[in-house]
Structure 1
Amino acid sequence: MKKIYVGNLPYTIDNDQLRKYFAQAGTVVDAVVISDKYSGRSKGFGFVEFETEEESKKAVEMFNGKDFEGRNLVVNEARPREDSGESSGARSGSTSEPQE
């Protein structure tokens, strides 16, 4: 785990502020606040990537639940995105065995 998920961010935070805040835990390689592609407004979450796994674990311990400008941050390991088509549950009723 080098990349962490940061949720419940204040909507006023930008990439540079996120980078500077999380630099307290170690060397930040990348910091991105996710924005709505149409409005450009922050979605209130982002991702921070550290140079080492130790730094990312330290950041989770340091910042998860911590107050940041009036909001309690949710910080944990970033998980890979699931493919949007398969995870919707549309196939949940089917079986792989043929019907007789």
Structure 2
Amino acid sequence: MSKNLYVGNLSWSTTEDEVRAAFEAFGEVTSVKLIEDRETGRPRGFGFVEMDDAGAREAIAALDGKEFGGRNLKVNESKPREERPRW
């Protein structure tokens, strides 16, 4: 079983490969997706990491609040996206 983790407060220069390397220290990473602004294509400073359940718990404990790329990461289990009205 895998877990989807939210990773926030990323530096805009952080790459998916850098995030993958940091999380692979704790378990098998299935996917990494850094979110970009739809209009500008610039990074938005957060993303998602999908990885094995045990590794996910270890990664949250080890990386949440830790310095990464000059910023303190926010790492937790992601929550389902809430439906928002389209304007």
- Return the offset for 1:22: 1.2
- Return the offset for 1:15: 1.5
Per the alignment, residue 63 of structure 1 pairs with 63
Q: TM-score, normalised by structure 1?
A: 0.79
Alignment of 1:1-100 (within 5 A): 2-50=3-51, 52-85=52-85
Gaps of 5+ in 1: 86-100
Structure with the higher strand share, 1 or 2: 2
CA RMSD of aligned residues (A): 1.5
Matched residue pairs, number?
85
What CA distance in whole angstroms lies between the structure 2 residues aligned with 1:16 and 1:40? 18
Greater RCO structure (CA 8 Å; 6+ sep) = 2
Identity of aligned residues (%): 42
What CA distance in whole angstroms lies between the structure 1 residues aligned with 2:70 and 2:18? 15
- Return the offset for 1:58: 0.7
For each residue in 1:61-90, what CA deviation from the matched residue of structure 2 results, as whole angstroms up to 9, or x when unmatched?
Answer: 0100000021000000100000002xxxxx
For each residue in 1:1-24, what CA deviation from the matched residue of structure 2 results, as whole angstroms up to 9, or x when unmatched?
Answer: 611000000100122221112111
Q: TM-score, normalised by structure 2?
A: 0.90
Gaps of 5+ in 2: none
User: Which runs of 4 or more aligned residues in structure 1 lie more than 2 Å from their structure 2 counterparts after TM superposition?
Assistant: none
What CA distance in whole angstroms lies between the structure 2 residues aligned with 1:82 and 1:5? 15
